[in-house]
Amino acid sequence: MTIDIHNKNERMLFILTLGALTMLGPMAIDLYLPALPAIADDMGEPLSKIQFTLSAYTIGFALGQLLYGPLSDRFGRQKVMLPGLVGYIVTNILAAMCTDANQLIVVRVLQAMAGAAVMVTIPAMVRDLFPRQESAKALSSILLVMTVAPLMAPLLGGQILRFFGWESLFIFLAALAFLAMCLALWRVPETLPEDRRLIVPAKKLAATYISILKNRNAMGCILCHGFFFGGMFAFIAGSPFVYIELYGVSPESYGLVFGLNMVAMGIMNMINIRLIGRMPLFNILRTGSMSAAVAAFALLLTAKTGSAGLAGIVLPVVVYVGCIGLTGPNSNALALAHFPRSAGTANAMAGALRFSIGAATTAIVGLLHDGTAMPMAMVMAACGTLSVMSLLLVSNGGAPATELEPQKETLTSKEKISA
């Protein structure tokens, strides 16, 4: 298989395929959000314990990325992604067979570790093919495609739950992953040639990760989006209770309210694509982070006073989540530009930190659960503040000290990738 990234149609189809594969991650989280109260009732478990299945997923995702990132740099992207898809299918079937919270927590960790093999390879594939400016556009386009999943997942999950029960949600995910695997086999070639693969002995892997942690510019960008990501996971963990239990939104309607966030994300992605090339990537990243922080503090105020009702919760959250369109693609592009020969490993570290922060914030929301929206709002405000503060680590607009790929680099050096 050969992909000519100068061919508009081939390039678009490749990006759409990667976007479809990326959907599996958010689908595994968002699809079953409306079912959390039903799962708790069916298993006879407290809702706070079922919420830990979200933390379990984020922990598994973090661990999986640390493992698969270096493997994808060593053996290639396909040899990591395809086995991950098989594992994702199997663990979803196992999740449907769980009878208590402890079983579900363990299976969700394994499910996330399988899904991480898919998610960690996609940004690395983009970095294999495109220079920094173009990779930011490609990642933003992939994120735009991916927004279809969290837009539809809660609404779809509510309807499946209504007619077939919570177990059917995981069977649906298994079927979806099987279709994604068929699509990957058809349209996704190996993007990392043999001569660019990086062999890192196990004993040197820790040193490689430490070198990434010591890069101030890269870590500033990674942590900026990482803390933003943590705030988003605080919302994901807290919103089923806040919307369904506290404000009386039905599980079927929960998906509609949740979908507003994805509409905002899609709009901001389109804006981001237009801004790239007209503004420095770091300036766009900083604008998104600061806007999210302001929205989080507005949420904290309305959650404390309760004067604006449901709208006072929904609107600030929509602004906050929408800002991922400005933070996600640009933070990734800036960070990975520092590691052109180890994009998989660097992306793994970035992903592991994001999902570790996400695991912590979802756990904190569960632990602070007090029957109000305050735990969710407080954690989101704290994450917004830390996101902005992380940018203090960044200098020179986040560019590498030795710019290997100038801003005006074209695609001529990477015309075709064959497998």
Counting Cβ atoms within 10 Å, is residue 181 exposed (0-12), middle (13-18) or buried (19+)?
buried
Scanning the structure block, which residue is given the tokens 């294999």? 128
Residues 6+ apart with CB under 8 A from 2: 189, 416, 417, 418, 419
Domain 8-188+213-400 of CATH type 3.10.450.50:
no
Scanning the structure block, which residue is given the tokens 């790929």? 405
The reported pLDDT for the residue numbered 132 is 64
Could you give the residue ranges of the DSSP H alpha helices within 76-166? 78-96, 101-129, 132-146, 148-164
CA-closest candidate to residue 330, choices 283, 383, 387, 373? 283
Counting Cβ atoms within 10 Å, is residue 418 exposed (0-12), middle (13-18) or buried (19+)?
exposed
The half-sphere exposure of 89 on its side-chain side, counting CA atoms within 13 A, is 14
Which tokens in the block code for residue 133?
């400016």
Rounded-to-integer distance, Cα 292 and Cα 294, Å: 5
| Torsion region of 398: left, alpha or beta (phi above 0 gives left; psi -120 to 50 gives alpha) | left
Radius of gyration of the chain measured on its C-alpha atoms = 20
Rounded-to-integer distance, Cα 329 and Cα 123, Å: 9
Could you give the residue ranges of the DSSP H alpha helices within 147-199? 148-164, 167-187
**Beta-carbon neighbour count of residue 44 at 10 Å?**
9
The reported pLDDT for the residue numbered 406 is 43
One DSSP character per residue, 25-62 reads HHHHHHTTGGGHHHHHHHHT--HHHHHHHHHHHHHHHH
Contact 404, 340 (CB under 8 A): yes
CA-closest candidate to residue 189, choices 113, 129, 119? 129
Which tokens in the block code for residue 132?
């920094």
Residues 6+ apart with CB under 8 A from 286: 388, 391
User: Could you tell me the mean pLDDT of each successive run of 10 residues in the chain, 419 residues long?
Assistant: 66 81 82 82 84 82 81 83 92 92 92 87 81 74 69 74 86 91 83 74 75 89 92 88 87 79 85 87 93 96 89 94 88 82 76 84 86 93 96 82 46 43
The reported pLDDT for the residue numbered 313 is 93
Which tokens in the block code for residue 232?
């988003």
Dihedral of alpha carbons 170, 64, 386, 269, sign: negative
Counting Cβ atoms within 10 Å, is residue 253 exposed (0-12), middle (13-18) or buried (19+)?
middle
Rounded-to-integer distance, Cα 122 and Cα 142, Å: 9
Extents of the domains making up the chain: 8-188+213-400
